[in-house]
Amino acid sequence: MINTKILSFLIVTLVLLIVACSETPSTTHRLYDHGGIIRTDTTQKIITLVFTGGDYADGGTVILATLNFRGIKGAFFFTGEFYRNPAFSGLIHDLKKHGHYLGAHSDEHLLYCDWTQRDSTLVTRTEFREDVDNNYAEMARFGIRKQEAPWFLPAFEWYNDTIAAWTNELGLTLVNFSPGTYSNADYTTPDMGKRYLDSETIFQRILDYEARQGLNGFLLLTHIGTDPRRTDKFYPRLDGLIVELKKRGYRFVSLPDAMGDIHHQDTKGTKFF
């Protein structure tokens, strides 16, 4: 007969393995577009909050306070120009101190491919590598090593398969925002006409999309700062959005947790159109 203590140990071990597997993000349920990851585990009600920054950082204090209050780790992708700006250094140090992910977003915020002919790459491989390397050189001044920041989000959130492949060659993984909610339209200004979306419209579009299709594995992107011409800032709405989505059963997870233990994956995943 099996010793009862051994049997109990085996049962407990099996339960722990089942729980661990159920909580580990699945790399097979990711969504890809042009070689970049645009959603993490679509089988789990998890969301990662992503913020990009280049010229502005007016929402930094509010965003940091909100995330810290809610116990959420965000993912912040900044250009080299952002890291070089002395006015933003205190914020960057604070984000790092509180354990938020800090990544690269192109050193000079280059447009890597044509807006209408996406397959048309506008930079050479050398120019791309130098641009990304320069971005990481600026991050190094803040003690951010490349090994600690393996995910790269391209400038303008615009790229093609070539850029994704070149990113992989650098030992990095390209990620981008999950489309559909228009959360990234928080940068728009009233002078843009029909392209402009006020904060209430963005807030409701996020919730409407969730009600229709869900936000499982979403990389929900907004900006850490926006043009002064946009007086209706979205970041004061962030806390209310978090509260509402938590009510709907979502957990907010860091980018490393959403990606799992494997930082660098190939891009043979589900295409998103």
Contact (Cβ atoms closer than 8 angstroms) between residue 18 and residue 197: no
State both tokens at 243.
């509260």
Tell me the per-residue pLDDT of 141-177, one tens digit each, with 9 for 90 and over: 999 999 999 999 999 999 999 999 999 999 999 999 9
Tell me the per-residue pLDDT of 167-210, one tens digit each, with 9 for 90 and over: 999 999 999 999 999 999 999 999 999 999 999 999 999 999 99
Domain regions of the chain by residue span: 25-248+257-271
Backbone angles phi, psi at 73, to 5 degrees: -100, 120
The proportion of the chain whose per-residue pLDDT surpasses 90, expressed as a percent, equals 84
> Residue 104 and residue 79: Cα distance in Å, rounded?
6
Residue 260: per-residue pLDDT: 85
Neighbouring C-beta atoms of residue 258, cutoff 10 Å: 25
Q: Which CATH superfamily is domain 25-248+257-271 in?
A: Glycoside hydrolase/deacetylase (3.20.20.370)
